[in-house]
Amino acid sequence: MADTVAKAEERRLPRVKPATDIIEKEDGFYIYLDMPGVSKEHLVIDLNEDELKVSGKAEYALAEGQKLGHVEFGGGEYFRSFTVSHIVDKERIKASLRDGVLELHLPRQEKAQPRKIEIQAG
């Protein structure tokens, strides 16, 4: 029965889009997502072709015998997805989580350098 109650409580977590800033710099794009209470273990970042999905869960355990009466902050599920431009080097995307803020760095692809084509004698 305790498992059933725990699963019912888990389903009731509000699902929200985290506040997000996207900054373009010379070396690429920086995405900052506000995800308070989310630990690295509860954070998932998936890249599937051109779609980058970020999800995380913040959970706050109640002591035995406690029950929530009213909640304005607390546990929740965060979800956000982004379309990744063709100018982003998808192999070099990096993420860091610090003080409840997830930072994603999407570096630009290096431009192909012009070069001379060698002609083979036939």
pLDDT band of 117, cuts 50, 70, 90: confident
With a CB cutoff of 8 Å and minimum separation 6, the contacts of 37 are 58, 59, 60, 74, 75, 76, 100
19 within 8 A of 78, measured Cβ to Cβ: no
Domain range list for the chain: 19-60+75-107
Residue 118 tokens read as 């060698």
26 within 8 A of 40, measured Cβ to Cβ: no
57-78 pLDDT tens trace: 998 777 888 887 777 767 889 9
- Of the chain, the percentage scoring pLDDT greater than 70 comes to 87
- For position 10, what pLDDT does the model report? 46
- For position 113, what pLDDT does the model report? 60
Provide the whole-model pTM. Answer: 0.76
Domain 19-60+75-107 has CATH 1.10.20.10: no
Residue 63 tokens read as 């002591």
CA distances from 6 to 1, 55, 65, 102 (A): 9, 21, 13, 28
Place of tokens 């920086």: 30
Does 119 score more than 80 pLDDT? yes
Instruction: Single out the residue of 19, 21, 95 nearest to residue 52, CA to CA.
Output: 95
Residue 29 tokens read as 């794009």
Higher model confidence: residue 13 or residue 84? Answer: 84
12-41 pLDDT tens trace: 678 899 999 999 998 999 999 999 999 999
